[in-house]
């Protein structure tokens, strides 16, 4: 029996690929690699944006928790010795005293006394016009120990990238209508400080970095109804509003 011989077609090698096949394969591979790289970049940008939002929210909530816990104790005076409580109340700043150690003293050079006259707000350099909005777009929100010597400014930064703050004061309800509808104000008179029963705090924060793929066209409303924005920039922002009842007011 004769053996059969397989003959390759003319112009085609049975031992490899043609140049056209290689070019098509390379083109398909490049498309696949480009798609994978594009997906990777998209996921990376999404992850970065989520990280910025989480960091911003944690920063904002931590600040609000700390701020609320101390304002809640304004006027704490277990020995009823000092006339203490809120001593400054504006829309952008609040200052109060409290007798944290119960020794009847809220002024002096002792370490405890330095922590018993507290002010919250932006540094003057960051909010020169006193409107409660950082002049440069965002700044550190500060806690200041007002009762310190001249060698100590008393300022400490609590949170960075804070855009705006508002303190809205809820007064004692003196309306004789059997309904709880107390008046609120952004600027109570000094004679009304003892009538403040709660403080509604509005804080607006922004991310630490701009996101070129995001345009912020949102507006944010404070507790008093002030509208902030739209900023029309690339920063993500979050607003947090909390009402803090003063435990020691009106006692």
Residue 7, domain member (yes or no): no
* Cβ atoms of 115 and 145 closer than 8 Å: yes
Residue 210, domain member (yes or no): yes
Alpha-carbon span 62 to 68, nearest angstrom: 10
Residue 227, domain member (yes or no): yes
Residue 39, domain member (yes or no): no
Residue 34, domain member (yes or no): no
Alpha-carbon span 202 to 83, nearest angstrom: 28
Could you give the maximum distance between any two Cα atoms of the chain, in Å? Answer: 124
Q: Enumerate residues 6+ apart whose C-beta is below 8 A from 116.
A: 97, 98, 99, 100, 101, 106, 107, 147
Residue 30, domain member (yes or no): no
> What's the number of domains the chain is made of?
1
Domain, as residue range, for 169: 48-245
Mean pLDDT in order along the chain per 10 residues (251 residues): 53 67 85 83 73 87 93 81 82 89 60 74 92 96 77 77 96 81 92 94 94 92 96 95 88 57
- Residue 124 DSSP one-character state: G
Q: Enumerate residues 6+ apart whose C-beta is below 8 A from 12.
A: 18
Residue 91, domain member (yes or no): yes
Residue 24, domain member (yes or no): no
Residue 193 has a pLDDT of 93
């Amino acid at each position: 029996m004769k053996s059969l011989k397989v003959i390759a077609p003319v112009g085609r090698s049975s031992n490899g690929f043609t140049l056209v096949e290689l070019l098509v394969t390379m083109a398909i591979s490049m498309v696949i690699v480009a798609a994978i790289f594009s997906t990777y970049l998209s996921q990376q940008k999404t992850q970065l944006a989520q990280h910025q939002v989480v960091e911003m929210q944690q920063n904002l909530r931590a600040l609000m928790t700390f701020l609320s816990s101390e304002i809640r104790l304004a006027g704490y005076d277990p020995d009823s010795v000092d006339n203490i409580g809120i001593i400054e109340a504006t829309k952008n700043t609040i200052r109060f005293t409290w007798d944290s150690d119960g020794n009847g003293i809220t002024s002096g050079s002792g370490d405890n006394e330095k922590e018993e006259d507290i002010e919250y707000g932006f540094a003057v350099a960051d909010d020169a016009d006193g409107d409660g909005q950082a002049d440069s777009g965002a700044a550190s929100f500060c806690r200041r120990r007002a009762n310190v010597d001249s060698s100590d400014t008393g300022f400490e930064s609590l949170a960075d990238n804070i855009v705006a703050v508002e303190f809205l004061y809820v007064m004692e309800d003196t309306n004789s209508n059997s309904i709880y509808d107390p008046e609120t104000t952004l600027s109570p008179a000094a004679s009304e400080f003892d009538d403040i029963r709660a403080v509604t705090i509005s804080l607006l924060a922004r991310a630490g970095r701009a996101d070129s793929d995001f345009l912020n066209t949102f507006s944010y409303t404070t507790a008093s109804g002030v509208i902030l924005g739209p900023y029309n920039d690339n920063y993500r922002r979050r607003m947090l509003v909390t009402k803090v009842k003063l435990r020691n007011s009106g006692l």
